[in-house]
Amino acid sequence: MNEEEQNIEIRKKLLKLPRMKAGAEFENNLLRMINTLEPEPVVKESGIKKPDILNFLFGKKALIWAVPAGSLAVILLVFFLIFRNDIIKETALIQKPEITSSNDQQRSTENAQTEKKIEIPGKDIANDLEIGRTTLTEKEKTLQKGYQETVPDIKTEKSAPQTGKEKTEPTEEKEEVKIIDAVKSDAPKKNEVKEMMPVKPAEKDINKEAMPKKEQGIDAMRKEEKVKEESEMAPKTDKKIVAPLIPESDKKKTSKDSTKKDETKNKKKELSKELLEELKKKIKDD
């Protein structure tokens, strides 16, 4: 307080200072300024009119319903997103088995195709590239199948002569071959024809009558020797009649023409039998 009292004179002087007053045209100038500056506030108001969320929600002119409505909308959106994800997951889970089933079908079809391919003998080995596309297990399966299919064929081929049907057929063929050979052997050879020639009785009789007794005795001896030789030759021919191995290619051909050949064979057989009987009779007669 003492300080204020000391300086109170200065305070009084300051308070006594004349009061300045505004000019007469102060208000008019001010109105002019405001009128000139009024467009700016209008612009600012237009700027305020721009969508300001905070002012819209929490400003003086805030709408009471906006906050709860907005919050509800946000909550609904969140729930929708959550349940949407769940629904998508569920649908995905439901659709997965279908997809897997369809995949299984595709796999089964593929397997069927591969099996079809495998069914072709020897193609599985040739189609190594195709096997390479499959998995290891499929490879192994295909290889095993191929092995099982290929190995039994080889066995059967090896054991073919041991089987019943295939046993009989070659024997029959062999028999046929033997018969054919026999027929061939029984066919009139030049030597045999020459030997057969004196068999004719008329000529023999003529010669017998014309020849002397010594010569007749010599001829008799020769005939006996020939008969012996022929008797000796007969078993030799039996030994010689051994069926040669016919190549498989010829077998196929024979099988095709088996019917025709059978007829010819039968005819030949009959002919050969007749010839043999005649020969036997002739020999007996001699």
Q: How many CA atoms lie within 13 A of 70 on its CB side?
A: 11
7 binds another protein (CB under 8 A): yes
Binding piece for another protein, criterion CB under 8 A, among 17-25, 132-140, 188-196, 266-274: 17-25
Q: Which of residues 169-228 bind another protein (CB under 8 A)?
A: none
Q: Which of residues 27-56 bind another protein (CB under 8 A)?
A: 27, 29-30, 33-34, 37, 41
104 binds another protein (CB under 8 A): no
Nearer to another protein, 29 or 207 (CB): 29
Cβ–Cβ < 8 Å for 213, 220: no
Query: Site for another protein (CB under 8 A): which residue of 5, 18, 93, 157?
Result: 18
Residue of 72, 76, 45, 77 whose CA lies nearest to 61: 45
| Six-digit token string for 222 | 């020769």
1 binds another protein (CB under 8 A): no
d(CA 53, CA 34): 30
Q: How far is the CB of 29 from another protein (least distance, A)?
A: 6
Cβ–Cβ < 8 Å for 185, 240: yes
Query: Site for another protein (CB under 8 A): which residue of 5, 10, 98, 136?
Result: 10
CB contact burial 130-139 (16+ within 10 A = b; e otherwise)? ebeeeeeeee
Coil, helix or strand at residue 34:
helix
Q: Which residues bind another protein (CB under 8 A)?
A: 3-4, 7, 10-11, 13-15, 17-23, 26-27, 29-30, 33-34, 37, 41
